[in-house]
Amino acid sequence: MNNKKNIKIDAVILWVDGNDEAHISKMLPYIEDKSIIKTKKFKTRFEQVNEIQYTIDSILKFASFIENIFVVTDNQVPHFLKDKNKKTNYDKVTIVDHQVIFKGYEKYLPTFNCRPIETCIHRIPNLSEHFIYFNDDFFLINHTKPEDFFENGFPILRGKWLNFDENIFYKKFKKPRTGHKSIQQNAAKLLGFDKYYNFKHTPHPMRKSTFEKFFKANEAVFINNIKYRFRDKSQFTPQGLANHLEIKNKTCVFKDNLQLIYFRSYKKPLLWYKIKLKIASKGKLFLGLQSLDLAPKNIRDYILDWLDNRIK
């Protein structure tokens, strides 16, 4: 199959406003230790500093080939999309509620766990076969083309092969975690791999039919991954599942160059971030900003100003 210029590609973004009192009230009945919601570790999974607008604006500017941008939320709408004066700038954007993608499985709602939501994104009505999944802390920072995400119709995977933790001596005795790597390992193990392909924090090109075929044949696996309202160590990342399915079926393309700059902490001097972003603007396609809400104000303001100027 040739990578035609008219290949239809959509974008999907998950978003939650963790500062919304209605969202907090919805969450409270499912939390035994109410004090946990005051901790930084818990709050940073839900809080935001309007990154979603930068994500969408970056797609509109640097990926003009994207046909539809679906924002998946729980009865929420980002403030900038409520502005009637701006709505015409966001014609490509559609809000999709959790109720829609969990249709038939509403008993597992509400959920405060990205993994069940990601497990259901292929159920978005009218979603294209080819789509790119963005977290709301992923941004495009240079012009992209369809061939940066799909080659001959197959997803391009950016990452590297790693051993499972239990096969690494110094990790054998550590307490199991529910982090980014462990849930990728769960996906690989589910499909019978003896190693796992560790993907990084870049936008994820995926195919709807890959999810549909697997979950149609494995509904119990689907239900087990959507039933937890909060993260559980038994879950897998759906992106990892899709990637390993594509690898197993030889329907993907590997790319060593991540073309990514990624900040996961903000403990360095401001000058360091200025230099890194200047370098990134010349050769990278993607920017990842994990937990930007935890950054010191001067660093956060600089990064957001940089993004604002980049995507104007």
Residue 238 domain-assigned?
no
Residue 28 domain-assigned?
yes
Structural domain harbouring 290: 9-153+201-230+258-311
Residue 304 domain-assigned?
yes
Pairing of strands 204-207, 130-134: antiparallel
Per-residue pLDDT, 5 = 55
Residue 78 domain-assigned?
yes
- Cβ atoms of 256 and 161 within 8 Å: the answer is no
Please report the DSSP string for 198-220 in residue order: EE-SS-EEEEHHHHHHHHHH-HH
Per-residue pLDDT of the chain (312 residues; tens, 9 = 90+): 445 557 999 999 999 998 888 988 899 999 888 777 667 666 555 556 789 999 999 999 999 999 999 999 999 999 899 876 655 689 999 999 999 999 999 999 999 999 999 999 999 999 999 999 999 999 999 999 999 999 999 999 999 999 998 877 566 666 656 678 899 999 999 999 999 999 988 999 999 999 999 999 999 999 999 999 999 999 999 999 999 999 999 999 999 899 999 999 999 999 999 999 999 888 899 999 998 988 999 999 999 999 999 998
Residue 168 domain-assigned?
no
What amino acid is encoded at 300 in this protein? R
Give the largest Cα separation in the chain, rounded: 58
Residues in the chain: 312
- Cβ atoms of 10 and 153 within 8 Å: the answer is no
Residue 303 domain-assigned?
yes
Per-residue pLDDT, 41 = 63
Angstrom distance (rounded) from CA 119 to CA 104: 14
Per-residue pLDDT, 10 = 98
Beta strand extents in the chain (DSSP E only):
9-14, 69-73, 93-97, 130-134, 138-140, 150-151, 154-162, 196-199, 204-207, 253-255, 260-263, 286-289
- Cβ atoms of 118 and 13 within 8 Å: the answer is no
Beta strand extents in 135-195 (DSSP E only):
138-140, 150-151, 154-162
Residue 106 domain-assigned?
yes
18: domain CATH number? Answer: 3.90.550
Count of C-beta atoms within a 10 Å radius of residue 186? 20
Per-residue pLDDT, 165 = 86
Per-residue pLDDT, 2 = 45
Q: Tell me the CA end-to-end span of the chain in Å, nearest whole number.
A: 36
The number of folded domains in the chain is 1
Q: Count Cα neighbours of 301 within 13 Å in the Cβ-side half-sphere.
A: 3
Per-residue pLDDT, 166 = 84
Per-residue pLDDT, 225 = 98
Is the N-terminal amide bond of 176 cis, ω within 30° of 0?
A: no
* Residue matched to tokens 């940073």: 44
Residue 162 domain-assigned?
no
